[in-house]
A and B are shown apart, each in its own frame.
Chain A
Amino acid sequence: MSKATEIISPEHGAADPHDTHDGHHDHHAPSGIMRWVLTTNHKDIGTLYLWFAFIMFLVGGAMAMVIRAELFQPGLQIVEPNFFNQMTTVHGLIMVFGAVMPAFTGLANWLVPMMIGAPDMALPRMNNWSFWILPFAFTILLASLFVEGGGPAFGWTFYAPLSTTYSGDSTALFVFSVHIMGISSIMGAINVIVTIVNMRAPGMTWMKMPLFVWTWLITAFLLIAVMPVLAGAVTMVLTDKFFGTSFFDAAGGGDPVMFQHIFWFFGHPEVYIMILPAFGIISQIVPTFARKPLFGYASMVYATASIALLSFIVWAHHMFTTGMPVAAEMFFMFATMLISVPTGVKVFNWVATMWRGSMTFEVPMLFALAFIVLFTIGGLSGLMLAITPVDFQYHDTYFVVAHFHYVLVTGAIFSIMAAVYYWIPKWTGRMFDVTLAKWHFWCSLISVNVLFFPMHFVGLAGMPRRIPDYALQFADFNKWISLGGFAFGLSQLIFLVVMIKACRKQGEPVSDRVWEGAEGLEWEIPSPAPYHTFETPPVVK
């Protein structure tokens, strides 16, 4: 599609009535911290989201370091089991709701308007609000670790009745903070949908939209569909615990397994919320560095939509051991296996895009290629997990931990890193420190596999997840896993340095197009991208 996109950009045009208007805005913009607090600019808000996500990534990562330090050898060394459970719980919550989701929202803020030729997000004030409630949500969640009895210790999946009758009083703080995160996500999603539906430049028809925009549009619908379900689940936990209801208590006519159905009805689409935008990013990056248009654009769009639809009918594959009727187990097994078809189509399309291209391997491409290989490994172990009889053996072991870290760390997070390296020269107008970025890539790539690959082995050999201590036969691999974990954690400090240097605008100025093969509206505007872009819509032919 993009090769057909010809643009008449006002940014490069001569005097335009809006230019003066532009200057007018900037002149009166607040400075210092208030610029960031009051901003309604999609680029500022995108930056806020991305830095917030990065800080949360480091905080959640620090918790993972505690977990891996405790698991370095058998026996209890560093933390008590109760605190260990708080670490696994809050690590999961922070990485899902604090790191991956806000990072994607940040990318959407920066990129969606620039990609569709819109001047900003459709609802800029709500945009400000949807970001600025997030720090409060996570302050509450982190503060809960310091109340008497500690923070949530029931896993990020907060299965009742462990999270109701048997949890500490900090559960109220957990519920409140999840509510705020949910409101933020819903507002963000509404904004994305309204922007994409209403603010595309003339000529930017549906099937000309860049895939990142398509995947985010579909993600936003998933968010609006399932975040209220999560809000319902936490509310029921709250009333079961504090107000005497019995939604999940058999003694009062409720059912603890119903909690899991409700949670995973949210939880499974949530998994795709965290990976569909990644598919979009990879579909932008691979054609650029293969210097060849994306193979099968239309099938990519249909595959994304199919994955999103299927994601609503597979939730109970997380619950095969709960004692479902065999017919239900069959249904969820077959439905889950089906998801591998559209996912496979995506991977094949990326490989076909590379085939007979003219490839170069700049940092964003390195991350994208690592994504394709490692995400596919995670996808294949996911296919194994779909097979109910064997899932009985895999379920709740480190095999599952390995699986979802392959799709979330080397999938979602690698795609976010690829995206940041790909677009940050456009945002800052400077090339990042390429040498350091390559160090970041290679250190991350090696350590992440030392970290997560042996988890498959200990899981198959029978190590359950969420345990602070383990039997002796798992000791050797756990040592390697922990060492890989520490190395991966340290590697991210290189990323921090690269990002700080980039934001301080160190590095060589870049051209408007930045990458030789880059296509799309965002590469037609100057580098760095001006504070306001496309105040007059470009015409896409």
Chain B
Amino acid sequence: MKRLEIRILKAWTTLMLLLTGSAAVAAANSEVSSLNLRRGATEISGQVYDLHMLMFSICVGIAVIVFGIMFVSMYLHRKSRGAKPANFHESVKVEIAWTVAPFLILIFMAVPAAKTLIAMEDASEPDLTVVVTGSQWKWHYKYMDRDVEYYSLLATQREQISNRFDKGENYLLEVDRPLVIPTGKKVRFLITSDDVIHSWWVPDFAVKKDANPGFINEAWTRVKEPGVYRGQCAELCGKDHGFMPVVVIAKEPKAYEAWVSEQEAMQQKAREEEQRLMAMSMSMDELMTEGERVYNATCAACHMPNGEGLPGVFPALKGSAIATQDQLAHIDIVLNGKTGTAMQGFGKMLSLKELAAVITYERNAWGNNTGDLVQAADVNAVASGE
């Protein structure tokens, strides 16, 4: 190699390494980076971040050297500069060198990667376990050993999505009921799905695991600091794939314990309330108001707010046989869903009162006008097989 070539190459390499180095430092220093991975909130996510930066630096290094040689050649070995072509076209030594060198670099990368991977996949001996179930388009959390379970739905208003309202700070990354976990404890997630494949992802935990229908996957985390951690479904799961965020709140163990006990009490109370309400009848107005609320929160994603569905994808309820004829069949399909279709059962998700209200709403909205009133007791009768 001639001296000029070496000098240009040195200058280029220094310049590029300075540039990318300072860019990487700048990116690493910003708390909420819009450019780079975040360090995250766990030991593992920190290791993953370090691995990412290691890989990134090696790749930048390789690129700078290879492109540097190429650009030097493009500059110096131009015909317009009077370059005469050499005629060499092979060199066993060089070729062996540039086969073996990358191989060594790969081993250098593979060792820390394998270590981190083994740590990530070891979900044994958890302090507590949460069953995470995806369904179109929401998450369900169930605490093992505790009597707490609930659905977690997107909380961003429809009007923000359709640009009628201003968008809030956590647009599309906010839910009605976040998952709550304690800090400093090993929390194991058992992840599955009720319908299609979803993927539960919280970047700050470096946890992304597919929710496969009929199978259970494991993941775990141990969060260092209390805080709110936001993520999203990462596997295309149909129409509203972009609208099923994950929000996790990490609380100090004491605060967590208080929260989970409170939830247990509340859910217990709600069940008792439900039994008490069974005998009570609601008026048409009450049912319709409550029904519209439940419908828009739960059913409108597929059947659309106007009840017309999406032709060829999701059937209309407006004027449909199911919503205007046999009431028992209507209750049954809302409770239990319809196998082989996207219609899921809502018996697990909605209270008897909510079910009664939404079925009443569907039988009387959009000109369906059957005049039918469905009460919680009617729903309970179908649910308990009477």
A residues near B, CB below 8 A? 74-77, 81-82, 85, 147-150, 153-155, 159, 161-162, 165-166, 168-170, 249-251, 255-257, 290-299, 321-323, 326, 329-330, 333-334, 337-338, 340-341, 344-345, 347-348, 351-361, 369, 372-373, 376-377, 380-381, 383-384, 387-390, 392-393, 395-397, 457-458, 460-462, 464-474, 476-477
A469 in contact with B77 given A393-B52, A393-B206 (CB within 8 Å): no
A373 in contact with B214 given A81-B240, A392-B48, A460-B36 (CB within 8 Å): no
User: A322 contacts B90, CB within 8 Å?
Assistant: no
User: B341 contacts A165, CB within 8 Å?
Assistant: yes
A9 to chain B, nearest CB (A): 25
- A-B pairs with beta carbons under 8 Å apart, 16 shown: A74-B171, A162-B236, A256-B212, A256-B214, A294-B89, A296-B95, A299-B95, A333-B113, A345-B98, A360-B78, A389-B120, A393-B48, A460-B37, A467-B241, A469-B161, A474-B34
Of A81, A155, A360, A390, the contact of B48 (CB 8 Å cutoff): A390
Within 8 A of A (CB), among B86-137: 86-90, 94-95, 98-99, 102-103, 106, 109-110, 113-114, 116-118, 120-121, 136
Complex interface: chain B residues within 8 A of A468 (CB): 242
B236 to chain A, nearest CB (A): 5
Of A147, A361, A461, the contact of B33 (CB 8 Å cutoff): A461
User: A359 contacts B77, CB within 8 Å?
Assistant: yes
Within 8 A of A (CB), among B199-249: 199, 201, 203, 206-210, 212-215, 217-218, 231-243
User: A292 contacts B89, CB within 8 Å?
Assistant: yes
Of A149, A256, A393, A471, the contact of B213 (CB 8 Å cutoff): A256
User: A292 contacts B85, CB within 8 Å?
Assistant: yes
Q: Closest residue to B342 on the A side, CB-wise?
A: A166
User: A154 contacts B106, CB within 8 Å?
Assistant: no
User: A249 contacts B238, CB within 8 Å?
Assistant: no
User: B196 contacts A75, CB within 8 Å?
Assistant: no
Q: Closest residue to B240 on the A side, CB-wise?
A: A81
Query: How many contacts between A and B, using CB within 8 angstroms?
Result: 295
Complex interface: chain B residues within 8 A of A393 (CB): 37, 48, 52, 203, 206, 208
Question: Is B55 an interface residue when CB atoms closer than 8 A count as contact?
Answer: yes
User: B206 contacts A358, CB within 8 Å?
Assistant: no
Question: With A and B bound together, what is the CA distance between A111 and B79 in angstroms?
Answer: 28
B residues near A, CB below 8 A? 32-38, 47-48, 51-52, 55-56, 59, 62-63, 66-67, 69-70, 73-74, 77-80, 83-90, 94-95, 98-99, 102-103, 106, 109-110, 113-114, 116-118, 120-121, 136, 160-163, 167, 169-173, 195-197, 199, 201, 203, 206-210, 212-215, 217-218, 231-243, 310-313, 339-342
Complex interface: chain A residues within 8 A of B84 (CB): 358
Question: With A and B bound together, what is the CA distance between A183 and B83 in angstroms?
Answer: 50
Of A161, A255, A390, the contact of B55 (CB 8 Å cutoff): A390
User: A321 contacts B199, CB within 8 Å?
Assistant: yes
6 interchain residue pairs of minimum CB distance: A149-B312, A250-B214, A467-B242, A148-B312, A323-B217, A380-B59
Question: With A and B bound together, what is the CA distance between A251 and B194 in angstroms?
Answer: 11
User: A384 contacts B206, CB within 8 Å?
Assistant: no
Q: Closest residue to B301 on the A side, CB-wise?
A: A81
Complex interface: chain A residues within 8 A of B89 (CB): 292-297, 353
Of B34, B67, B78, B208, the contact of A321 (CB 8 Å cutoff): B208
Question: With A and B bound together, what is the CA distance between A334 and B232 in angstroms?
Answer: 29
User: B234 contacts A396, CB within 8 Å?
Assistant: yes
Question: With A and B bound together, what is the CA distance between A294 and B38 in angstroms?
Answer: 44
Question: With A and B bound together, what is the CA distance between A259 and B102 in angstroms?
Answer: 34
Of B36, B85, B172, B208, the contact of A357 (CB 8 Å cutoff): B85
Of B94, B160, B163, B201, the contact of A77 (CB 8 Å cutoff): B163
